[in-house]
Chain A
Amino acid sequence: MIIELGHLAVITALVLAMIGIVVPVIGIKKQKAVWIEIGRQAVTLNFFLLTLGMAAMIYAYVTQDYSVKYVAATSNSKLPIFYKIAGLWGGHEGSLLLWAWILSAYCALAVWIHWKTQPVVIPYLIAMESLILSGFLLLILFLSNPFERLLSAPPDGRDLNPLLQDPAMVGHPPMLYMGYVGLSIPFCFAMAALFSGRLGEEWIKVTQRWTLLAWISLTTGILMGGYWAYYELGWGGYWGWDPVENAAFMPWLVATAFLHSVMVQETRKMFKVWNLFLIILAFSLSLIGTFLVRSGVLSSVHSFATDPGRGLFILSFLAFMLILSFGTLIFRSNKLKSNIEMDSMVSRESVFLFNNLFFLVAMITVFIGTLYPLLTEALKFKKVSVGPPYYNAVFMPIALGLIFLMGVGPYIPWRKASFESLKKQFLFPLIFAGAGMILFAIVGIRDLYALSGLTVVSFVLASIVLDFKRISSFLAKQRKITALQGFYTSFRQNPRRVAGIITHIGVLIMVVGIIFSTIYQTEKVVILKPGEEVVLKSYRIKLIRLYEVEGPNWQAQEGSFQVYQGDALITRLYPQKRLYPVSQTPTTETALHQIYMGHLFLTIPEVAPDGSWARVRALFNPLILWVWYGGGVMVFGGLLNIFRPKRKEVYAAHSTEASLPEGVPGIPQLSSKRMTQE
């Protein structure tokens, strides 16, 4: 009964969403506020209706109603309650419902926040968001309905995929979807700007925090996915250029490019069309990503054939959205000739330009690699796969370039940099990086990628530290305070810049983590009988015995290991080979031991049925935790940026002054550059 109520709520939501497309447009045409008000009510109601739909599904999971087909397919009575609820997004139908619910929540929130301040934009925003929501609800209701009942209810569910029974996997899809869907708000603002012809900087300023929120969610989602892959899949890596990962990575790359290039428009009124293009691209990629992952095309094109309706609908909806958004951009963008030219190659503008170029090329690299196999298979050529070496070979140089720019961009002046200012800012970092390179080479880092990566990281680090130190001590001297207080003052004066640089520091930490944990990973795969041991680096890993254990919904063979360094026992580890009997799925459970910021990583992927031997895989992943610590710092920087305090002092200044924000007052080469704009 409850489930039918939820179903009905979602059907009503579809009707309302369709009304929401039309009504605001009529409102604009007739200049009647009441039509737009109807649109607002539809948006608010939709959020409550979809919440009801979600609640009904969760109710079915909790009460173990296996007459609901989707619940029966993704849950089981033995499952802990936590995973019962998470089962909702463990499959195709439920995760689409989650997507739609998040969209409705964002939309209601955006309308609530911007209703008073953005009266011109709101109608378009409602119409666009309702359009996207309608598309998803049509897909949910007609082609992948989670509310569908089974004629005869099975006694028990078929269980959630054991690999998804993991805390990281509970949070990962919602985070990722918050990122995907979050991009729809700046996207809709951009579309509203195009439709209404108000193409100034306003839409960018208004959506800044929305974009940041989406970016933070995407980043967190990707990081969680990586961590899950790392220990739950038991392969010891966190990123495999798997198409599913790529689908999330592409919108991330473009969103990051967008976050950077908007600064150029805000300060220099350039890149106008480009920014519109970027945000449309970013959201399109998140649509493509959702569909690629959720339609099952990625594992095989043949899955399209199993449900041709779904594939066809997805493709048509995608095509419609792409044509609508890019078409509008092309038709409207001729109004947007930016008449400001770049003054010099050696300027912050041009650094941003290259930043964007690199991000886009990175995206295209991933795009080609991900879609080429699909294309060849769809066109009935030979089936083919693109291997990680392709990505690594192409992506590494691009990433190096981007990291290098991170050390230049925030510190080079706008418009045109003089030789003197360049020398002042970059001579020390260059020397520091050079010295670093020699040092790294001496201590034995000879791998080309590792050496160049660490050199570039030290360059950026020196740039950041030098800049922080200079500003802090300048302010400290000016105001007669300590350097630490000076640093805090610089944050108060330009919180956005400092928060951004904290994110950069996070990237540096992550890069170091990636370099060490991939290039300097050590692996041993051996067969061990109880009592035998394997030597990995300076550690001896000894298999004591193999035995059987049982969990709530699984059975396992467990290995008891002792790890020695020299003669000292440093830890005991218990990896498992599990079997989930309901779905007959075997899994490999990892055992980890942290050594400094790295991991000793142990799995037993194969155990003899009689327990006489086990295939043991032992890995040493140095500094691997830096990958996630760095990610944490990146996210922290982003959060700081969202919740940043208003700019002190400079904020109240004259408008042209305020539109030249990045320079901290008092740094001479910046303030002297403040000329009027043509």
Chain B
Amino acid sequence: MLTVKSLHAHYGNIHALKGVSLHVRSGEIVALIGANGAGKTTLVHSICGLLKPTKGSILFEDNDLTRLPPETIVRRGISLVPEGRQIFATLSVEANLEMGAFIHRKDRAGLRRDMDRLLERFPVLRQRRRQLAGTLSGGEQQMLAICRALMARPRFLLLDEPSMGLAPLIVREIFDIIQELRGEGRTILLIEQNARAALQIADRGYVLETGKIVLQGEGRELLAHREVQRAYLGKGAKPIWDA
């Protein structure tokens, strides 16, 4: 569904991606793990169009996305739940959701239906739908960010560090939501520092290190990989929870 071919990108003067190739098949959850500064966010921004890659290409369902602006890419069916949530803090929860559906603004009835369905699923957001989004707790903001992305009716969802800064219990909830989304037939690329949680729900995973893919394989396989355990899971570390 999504194919990234030997992508190079610069972040200022830094050569942040040095020939990254990966693919995501329809219906998969693919995890991309890596430490801080490995180039994860650069890759995400390149896919979404916030950053123009210098070389290489990004194909989505056989259409070239490379160097298209984000406004166009979201119309093709790719939505990003950005790192740090990036909700519209000064707008109400409801307005945040409406803005998520900006590209479907002509379809008022459909927009209402989508919003009702999401508020049904996340009752916390329904309770707070007239509140300013910035006053929500971290976990609620993350749910709102996911819902806002879903309002665009994406077939392909990118989540950048959805567990960042959240309590373990909330992280678990977020990861449950991600699995449900796959159950609805959406394809997911999950970018995480929390390697264990990500690889446990992923079909396949990639490990990014200083701008290159150094390892790839099935989720379970990577979880058991000696290098991954050493670098990302901490040798002998206790699992946060059992899947």
Is the pairing of A and B real? no
Chain A residues proximal to chain B, CB less than 8 Å: none
What residues make up the interface of B, taking CB atoms closer than 8 Å to A? none
